[in-house]
A and B are shown apart, each in its own frame.
Chain A
């Protein structure tokens, strides 16, 4: 009996993984909690990554990401199925984060932690953890250093530029979807991305030149 239940559970788990986002939304509207969990697990990483790179504080990013999902599920009946679910979710994440940044007037935060972090523990909690697949310690240090410069440079961009370039180059979202997410015309998205690249190029100029020399 227990074996059969486990088998049933396993079958259901696999079937939820295979569902499309829109099917999962339909199930959520029928109060299916497993479908909601699948959606959370499917999108927690990209949403968290975007929010984290916007606010640069792990605890805050987790709180905001949680709020994004809560708002999404609370307003699920308003979701227009002619759009991609991920676009709608990112739109909520973008609006919530930008609202937060506007209210708090947060502009730039170093990769070494939030400027509000007054204790070493708090600095540790708010700093970025960088990972690398490199095996050599030197290469790892170099990769961490470069990633740090890049994260710092991204943090110095305007929130709109930051969102646009992260969605385009890190999440690989097409321009039209970014336009829907940010609620701005396609031409504006292209301008944001163009300017963001130019600013990143300028901010990383020293590192860039070093790379060219090598």
Chain B
């Protein structure tokens, strides 16, 4: 009852005025529409917005000159598929491409000749060798990182802190950090003159549009 009374007596917000003035999919609650019937100020605001919207809608449609799209298309360069780009590059740099191919062919030839000198080298033994070297490389990297962490004393410091932290102090710390974060965000919004409710509705709409 009280809410209904408030809705009927308070003046309409900008968005509500727009909903009434500009035809669209949105509809206002009946009590807001009823308010306009009673309130001279809101009725005048709606009429003004309707007039302005009608005037702007009636502005002459502007068209570029005839044949504008032809003119634009003469300057447009569409992205080419990679195969076409490669072919174009090959055509453009024929000498360099030929040299690169010759170099690659020579390298493969030398490699095959070297392998042919060792009959015990089969594709399987080569693959096994490569896998073994790669694994050893990765493992040595992991060991180096471990040695660095242990040597820097980070683990001991963390263990020392963990020994002193109780569940209550952890909760207080997390809550304090969260509150400071939220307060900073609110201050930032107020400095930028943004209504926090708009941020949440904006995020919701963005999710809906993206979804």
Contact stretch, chosen from B60-68, B100-108, B115-123, B152-160: B60-68
Which residues of B, 49-84, contact A by the 8 Å Cβ criterion? 49, 51-53, 55-65, 68-69, 71-73, 75-81, 84
Report whether A76 and B78 are in contact in the complex, using a CB–CB cutoff of 8 Å. yes
Distance of A156 Cα from B193 Cα, bound (Å): 24
Interface residues as binary, A172-203 with B (CB distance below 8 Å gives 1, 0 otherwise): 00001001000001111011001001001100
Report whether B72 and A44 are in contact in the complex, using a CB–CB cutoff of 8 Å. yes
- A187: which B residues are within 8 A, CB to CB? 192-195, 198-199
Report whether B56 and A179 are in contact in the complex, using a CB–CB cutoff of 8 Å. no
Contact stretch, chosen from A8-16, A31-39, A88-96: A31-39
Report whether B79 and A129 are in contact in the complex, using a CB–CB cutoff of 8 Å. no
- The size bracket of the interface on B is 35 or more
B contacts with A: majority SS: helix
- The size bracket of the interface on A is 35 or more
Whether A36 contacts B48 in the complex (CB less than 8 A), given A82-B210, A169-B57, comes out as no
Whether A36 contacts B51 in the complex (CB less than 8 A), given A65-B64, A147-B58, comes out as no
Contact stretch, chosen from B91-99, B172-180, B201-209: B201-209
- B206: which A residues are within 8 A, CB to CB? 176
Whether A169 contacts B202 in the complex (CB less than 8 A), given A31-B80, A52-B62, A66-B72, comes out as no
Q: Indicate whether B14 reaches chain A with its CB closer than 8 angstroms.
A: yes
Which residues of A, 21-59, contact B by the 8 Å Cβ criterion? 28-33, 36-37, 40-41, 44-45, 48-49, 52-53
Report whether A49 and B76 are in contact in the complex, using a CB–CB cutoff of 8 Å. no
Q: Which one of A45, A143, A169, A179 contacts B62 once the chains associate, using CB atoms below 8 Å?
A: A45
Nearest CB of B to A73, in Å: 5
Q: Which one of A31, A52, A65, A176 contacts B79 once the chains associate, using CB atoms below 8 Å?
A: A31
- What are 7 A-to-B residue pairs whose CB atoms are below 8 Å? A31-B78, A45-B61, A66-B68, A82-B209, A128-B62, A143-B58, A151-B59
New contact pairs (11) apart from A33-B73, A36-B73, CB-CB < 8 Å: A44-B72, A48-B64, A49-B62, A62-B64, A65-B68, A73-B76, A147-B58, A151-B59, A165-B56, A187-B195, A201-B52
